[in-house]
Structure 1
Amino acid sequence: DLADEPGSDRRAVLVRWSAARDLAVCAQVFGTGTGDHGEPLPGLLRERWLLAAEDGRLVLHPWLRRLLLWELAADEEMWRDSHARLAAHFRTGRERAAEVTPGTDLELEEMYHRLALGETEPVAALLARRFAERGSEDFIRDLDLVTSAPNRLDKAVPPLRLLDSLTTGSDTPAMSPEAVIRRLVVARWIWSDPLSDPGRRLNAVIAGNYDHLAAMRSSGIVPLYDEAVRYRQWRDE
């Protein structure tokens, strides 16, 4: 089995690969690895676990990825190294345009991995800039992508306490777009991991911050209010 033998080279490769949203990218960053009889892991994964996402990315089966991410999270050094290397890959992507999948948003992909490293401020700064420059639907899509990043947060800490600990210390006025977006980024990042917010305590926080953002817009408010309603009515399947 490809995920057998804890500590084996194959397992270590798969654990690192779980950090990436796209297997084509992690193969470039971490190497392809080899499976049985020297066959590259991508080929074996294609046979057993590989799925095609709606946007064309090649990804690990979500349950397999979640299990491997738990293992990656147990090793802080490997977690930080893996996400730092992936962030650097996208940061320098403009110099390697031929290696980047067409349509890839390099800034967002970099921020996905920086958020996994706990760097909330640069992520919020990018999204605040995009909120000012782009439409509401684009902003929501960008926020959802970035805040789907995995985390190593302490699952024993209640989600509201996590939110408080990760959003204090800023001199930005509490109701400014930058501060609201930072709270929204952190809240949805925690919320995106069911183990970090199993009771969905952050639904109301996310909805409230979408309401605040809508009130700051002179146009394009409907998608923001719709998101607020969606989180207030959220029911896990």
Structure 2
Amino acid sequence: MIFARIKWLYAIIVIFTGMTLMITTFYLFPKPYAVKFSAWFIRLLVFIPVRVKGTPDPDAQMFLLNHQSDIDIGIMETITDKDLAWVAKKELFEVPFFGLVVRLPKDIALERESKTALVKLIKECKDRLDRGRVITIFPEGTRTETGKMKPFKAGAKMVADKYALKVQPVVLIATAWHFSNKRKVFHPGAVTAIYLDAFIADKENPQWLNETHDRMQKVYDDELANHPRYR
């Protein structure tokens, strides 16, 4: 038990150090290299190799990811060379220290359950897209460690429909098994990330977001069946 807590504390120190490096080097490196450097620093020092399946679409304008762990962002940053614009809850932007991690790269703050905030979200996403960035969203809106994805919130669909974006789902497998701040556990080891086929958002299909949820869940369940250690 003590050794398990020491491993978890080591991972926390690495993550904190990586974020500090990102903040201190942000204006020294061209964008988005401070973010990428920090993500690689964390991933390498917590010994998390990533098996990538599927093919990243070079024209993708939005990534949709399932969310289980604090390491999910770092994993995604290291498996793409795209400049990602993360959509995160507004409260995170106000947290001391951590707020700089999302404010410096001009990630996008979202007020939950606010209609006016959705209008602001759409405008800010357009600004980031015009700058060549890829909008990156956890459509569940929160972490879940059960392996069953929560229903996807409508914000991602509103943005994608508005600009007819090319959307690529990405499924991360059992990242909460590797690192959970809630349960204070850390297990080094390979993580699997799966790029699904990209598609153009079709506002004439009101169910495409729900269909994407179901497709991602099936890919997750099928992949998990091949990894007994996660069960």
TM-score normalised by structure 1 residue count: 0.34
| Rg comparison, structure with higher value | 1
Larger strand percent: 2
Structure with a larger share of its residues in helix: 1
